[in-house]
Amino acid sequence: MTETQIELTQVERDAEGFLADPAQWTRELGVEIARENGIDELTDRHWLVIEFMRNRYLETGNAPSIRSLGKESGVPVKELYQLFPKGPAKLAAKIGGIPKPHGCI
């Protein structure tokens, strides 16, 4: 890692804007991705969810579902939808630099 800040234009992303490599993620990139998706400011509550999701993914290979988030992240489901109006599981994953939740096919 260098001191130079990585910019969103320098990292590889898929057609929907998810990072190709979770290891390239930085908090600054997260802020930029949030802005692209209509969230101008990431509050502590946003970060709580984003970091919980990211850590869980790095630990287990699974991104938690809405229900897991509601049970474990400390943020109730209703609030999750206020924080990430377009769908918390997908949007928080995108901002946190981890892959989109997907099925087996």
Partner 1 sequence: MPAAPSRRSADSDAPCDGDAEGMNKRVVILGGGTGGTLTANRLDRRFGPELEITVVDRDDLHVYQPGLLFVPFGLTTISKIVRPRHRQLRPGVRFHEAEIESVALDENEVRLADGATLPYDVLVVASGARIQPRETEGMTGPGWCENVFTFYTPEGASALAPALERFRGGRLVVNIVDMPIKCPVAPIEFTFLADWFLRERGVREKTELVLSTPLDGCFTRPIASKHLSYLLAEKGIELEVEFPAGEVDGDGGQLRSYDGRELEFDLLVAIPAHGGAAYVERSPGLGDALGFVPTDINTLQTKVRDNVFALGDATDLPASKAGSVTHFEGDVLADNIARYLEGEPLEPRYDGHANCFIETGFGKALLIDFNYDLEPVPGHFPTAFGLPLLKESRANHLAKLAFQQLYWHALLPGRDIPGIEVTMPRAGKRIPADAAAGKVGATS
Query: In the annotation, is 104 catalytic?
Result: yes
Told to check if 78 binds partner 1 by CB under 8 A, we report yes
Residue span binding partner 1 (CB under 8 A) among the ranges 3-11, 31-39, 40-48, 80-88:
80-88
Q: Is 1 in the site for partner 1 (CB under 8 A)?
A: no
Point out the catalytic residue in the list 1, 15, 23, 104.
Answer: 104
**Interface region with partner 1, contact rule CB under 8 A, candidates 5-13, 24-32, 36-44, 75-83:** 75-83
Locate tokens 């234009």: which residue?
A: 9
- Residues serving a catalytic function are 104
